[in-house]
Structure 1
Amino acid sequence: MKIAVVDYGSGNLASASRAVQLAADRAGIAADVVVTSAPAAIRAASRIVLPGQGAFADCMGGLDAVPGLRDALEQTVDAGTPFLGICVGMQLMAERGLEYGATEGLGWVQGEITRIDAPGLRLPQMGWNALDFQPGSHPLLDGLLPGDHVYFTHSFALSDGKGAEILATTDYGGPVVAIVARDNRAGTQFHPEKSQEVGLTIVGNFLRWTP
């Protein structure tokens, strides 16, 4: 299995690639994990992981700044290659982001990225929070239980999302979208590479996923 971790100048590339390799090893999957910005490598991948950290506009700008990278990403995912976005990588799946002005996203899931409305609570939301989801509702959730904790660090999140595309939420002054999926595209607002056993389970599920 060829797994491309997309390098566009943003994200925990080393941590993400290590987590993918470890999850593959644990699942008994022979995996070639490569951190790359090469369009040809994206097109040849059997799985694509898009990490991200920082501001939505900066991350989208970084993706657009690499010649041919966005086209390769969109065309390969449109053709059915399973995709996992992490943190801002997940946010880029939305229709647009409203951090420091409006920026168009990839438009893969419904909704826009807005500042979390959590009066009295600190932003960014930083630390371990529990997941709320319906067990058995999606292969990415296999082996997890409602209440399992994962690691978040963010001030913006998906709003006005489509119910069928929201797999899990967490609570931070109200429901906050934690996992989305549509067809062969999925994303986690939290960092699975920092979420220990629960995170590795999710990454392993992604590697076994056949949407």
Structure 2
Amino acid sequence: MIAVVDYGMGNIRSVSRALEAVEAQVKITQNAEDIKNARAIVLPGVGAFRDCMENLSELGLLQTIKEEIVNGKPYLGICLGMQILFSESEEFGFCKGLDIFKGRVVRFNLPRQYKIPHMGWNVVKFKRKNKILEGIPDNSYFYFVHSYYVVPEDERIIAGVTDYGTDFTSMIIYENIFATQFHPEKSQKTGLTLLKNFVQFSR
């Protein structure tokens, strides 16, 4: 069973439907025990970093999620689910994250011709290969919608970068942790391939 964490924000249903489409057994949950008993965790999200952290805290899930990730449980973070892995965000003032990775979440600072949020299809250039990327060509298109992006201190965790006025980290991979700034559930066949690979990794 894969636990899709429902913290009151984002695209929970579309993510769960996409996982079910690649034959995953999914449970949408706000329960810490479900997360502990799951084979893997998926944390999707669209919205503000601070609201995400506060909602997870109010549900009593922050410590459980961090412990399960640190103990080696497969984790897929999508958009906000990627950003909260880092030390802090500058969105609407300073806010602490899970601090699993050292680094910051910062806002795009771009010339006027670039619209913010960055929204739509864009290319991801892979920095290294991994089983979760099997069957996905380099420079594949994925769907984005975000105004902030992560800046990891350790560049070795960066698995993909995207150009939108500047090169930014659009994917990270580290041991059991996979996270994307883009939305695989909105990225058609390529996104479903990535989700299928994650499900197979989690078995």
> TM > 0.5 between the two?
yes
Q: Which moved more, 1:139-148 or 1:51-60?
A: 139-148
1:114 counterpart residue number: 106
Asked if 1 retains the 8 angstrom alpha-carbon contact of 2:39 and 2:202, the reply is no
Shift of 1:46: 0.2
Q: Does 1:170 align with 2:154?
A: no
How far apart are the structure 2 equivalents of 1:54 and 1:40? 25
Shift of 1:184: 1.0
2:37 counterpart residue number: 44
Give matches, 1:53-202, under 5 Å.
53-67=46-60, 69-120=61-112, 121-134=114-127, 137-202=129-194
Q: Which moved more, 1:73-82 or 1:50-59?
A: 73-82
Match of 1:17, SS state, is helix
2:10 counterpart residue number: 11
- Runs of 4+ residues deviating >6 angstroms: none
Aligned AA (2:158): I
Aligned AA (1:208): Q
1:28 counterpart residue number: none
How far apart are the structure 2 equivalents of 1:132 and 1:167? 8
Q: Which moved more, 1:95-104 or 1:126-135?
A: 126-135
How far apart are the structure 1 equivalents of 2:169 and 2:55? 24
How far apart are the structure 2 equivalents of 1:176 and 1:134? 12
How far apart are the structure 2 equivalents of 1:103 and 1:115? 13
How far apart are the structure 1 equivalents of 2:64 and 2:122? 34
Q: Does 1:207 align with 2:202?
A: no
Q: Which moved more, 1:141-150 or 1:34-43?
A: 141-150
Identity %: 39
How far apart are the structure 1 equivalents of 2:123 and 2:141? 4
User: Paired residues, what number?
Assistant: 202
Asked if 1 retains the 8 angstrom alpha-carbon contact of 2:184 and 2:192, the reply is yes
Aligned AA (1:22): A
How far apart are the structure 1 equivalents of 2:202 and 2:190? 20
Match of 1:106, SS state, is coil
How far apart are the structure 2 equivalents of 1:21 and 1:124? 29
Q: Please, what TM-score do these two structures have when normalized by structure 2?
A: 0.94
Asked if 2 retains the 8 angstrom alpha-carbon contact of 1:108 and 1:182, the reply is no
How far apart are the structure 2 equivalents of 1:46 and 1:210? 6
Unaligned segments of structure 1, at least 5 residues: 26-30
1:21 counterpart residue number: 20
Unaligned segments of structure 2, at least 5 residues: none
Aligned AA (2:30): S
How far apart are the structure 1 equivalents of 2:153 and 2:19? 27
Match of 2:143, SS state, is strand
Asked if 1 retains the 8 angstrom alpha-carbon contact of 2:88 and 2:103, the reply is yes
Shift of 1:155: 0.4
